[in-house]
């Protein structure tokens, strides 16, 4: 595979890994026309997401140019972004 990660929309602050990413790896991520350097903070499995910027607690996680959830803790740039640090806001049966 030529690219290690893919970004769907220019507004996205996460990318999807197209192969397992290793801790410490330096990635060049292409977002639209520009390139962004991201160092992988911890191992990220194939298909999982990596933060492209520092995300503060409560900040929206954006993919497809849309909000897919909120960060439940600070996620550093290059961090694994998944169920352990992101919470969806859709269909919240716990909030009725």
Partner 1 sequence: MKFLGYRRNSGRVGVRNHVLVFPTVICAAGVAEMISREVPGTIYLGHQHGCGHLGDERDHMIRTMVGTCANPNVAGVLLVGLGCEMLTADLLGEKLREAGQRVETIATQAMQGTGEAIEEGTELAQKLLEEAKGAQRDQVDASELMVAAKCGGSDTLSGLTANPAMGVACDILIKDGGSAIFTETPEMLGAEHVLAKRAADEEVRRRIWEITSRTDSKIKAMGLDIREAEPGPGNIEAGLTTLAEKSLGAIRKGGTTPIVEVVEYAEKPSKKGLVIMDGPAHDVVGVTGMVAAGAQVVVFTTGIGTPVGSPIAPVIKVSSNSPLYQRWRDNMDVNGGTILDGGETLQSMGERLVEEIMEVASGKLTRAEVLGHREFAIHTIAPTV
Which residues of this protein are in contact with partner 1, per CB under 8 A? 1, 3, 6, 8, 16-18, 45-49, 61, 63-64, 66-69, 81-83, 86-94, 96
26 vs 96, beta carbon nearer partner 1:
96
24 vs 47, beta carbon nearer partner 1:
47
Please report how close the Cβ of residue 48 comes to partner 1 at its closest, in angstroms: 4
38 vs 66: CA distance, rounded Å: 22
Please report how close the Cβ of residue 87 comes to partner 1 at its closest, in angstroms: 7
Buried/exposed code over 2-34 (b: 16+ C-beta within 10 A; e: otherwise): eebbebeeeebbbbbbeeebeeeeebebebeee
11 vs 85: CA distance, rounded Å: 20
Please report how close the Cβ of residue 81 comes to partner 1 at its closest, in angstroms: 7
């Amino acid at each position: 595979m030529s690219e290690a990660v893919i970004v769907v929309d220019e507004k996205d602050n996460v990318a999807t890994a197209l192969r397992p990413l290793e801790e410490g790896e330096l990635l060049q991520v292409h977002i639209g026309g520009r390139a962004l350097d991201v160092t992988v903070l911890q191992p990220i499995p194939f298909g999982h997401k990596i933060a492209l910027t520092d995300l503060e607690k409560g900040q929206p996680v954006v993919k497809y140019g849309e909000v897919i959830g909120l960060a439940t803790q600070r996620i550093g740039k290059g961090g694994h972004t998944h169920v352990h640090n992101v919470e969806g806001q859709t269909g919240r049966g716990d909030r009725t």
